[in-house]
Amino acid sequence: MTKLSVNINKIATLRNSRGGDNPNVLQAAIDCQRFGADGITVHPRPDERHIRYADVREIMPHITTEFNIEGNPTEDKFVQLVLEVKPHQVTLVPDALGQLTSNHGWDTIKEASYLRDIVSIFKKEGIRVSIFVDPVVSLAEAAFDTGTDRIELYTEHFATHYKTDKSAAIKDYTTAANAASAKGLGINAGHDLDRHNLKFFADNIPNLAEVSIGHALIADALYYGLENTIQMYKRCLHTL
């Protein structure tokens, strides 16, 4: 069964745009779980323009499903936060400082030595590790040598080309997922997945353990309500 982890960054963005505590990020995390989310994802960035480091610390004790923290481990502050909070999963994303949103995965071949070292730090603390990768067989296979538990397939290319040729759009992802699965790696996915393309993606990716969805889901919630939207996305994953 593919799990749905709801990324609540955009709720924090709305809060920060006005100051104060409305909407309340902690309550949003609690409610997403209550409405059926299988996990909560946050991606704190150094400038704290959406999720703040204090939010992460506040949220963790209230998570009854699964807590996934995304970020760039080259930032010492991020590593220290993860080791302090000890989430169920950390997803390593090679974001540049000030980057608007994630736009590429790790080169697991060139950066194998660094990734092995950082993955081992988290795994020693019992934290499951996932590495953000592009849908390239060689990179998916090389991720195994870093010691990671899972890869997260970066799905922007799929989402961009889904409307014009969905069969072509999914091909590299299916191939990369099969290669990673053959190595014993778990498969996660995220970025620009939405209620229109999610079912097709999930139906064509073998052993898909988890999808992390934020922007599209929160945008849909403005029209359909948060509880209903989470249920809609779970139906795309055949989990209802």
> 79 vs 25, 87, 217, 238, CA distance in Å?
22, 12, 28, 35
* Cα–Cα nearest to 189, from 217, 156, 152, 161: 152
User: Does 23 sit behind a cis peptide bond, omega within 30 degrees of 0 on the bond before it?
Assistant: yes
Query: Per DSSP, what are the bridge partners of residue 69?
Result: 42, 90
Which residue in 66, 70, 141, 210 is the catalytic one?
A: 70
Report the distance separating Cα 139 and Cα 234, nearest Å.
29
User: Is 70 noted as a catalytic residue in this protein?
Assistant: yes
User: Is 196 noted as a catalytic residue in this protein?
Assistant: no
User: Is 62 noted as a catalytic residue in this protein?
Assistant: no
Which residue in 50, 66, 152, 191 is the catalytic one?
A: 191
Sort strands 208-213 and 186-190 into parallel, antiparallel or unpaired.
parallel
Catalytically annotated residues: 43, 70, 191
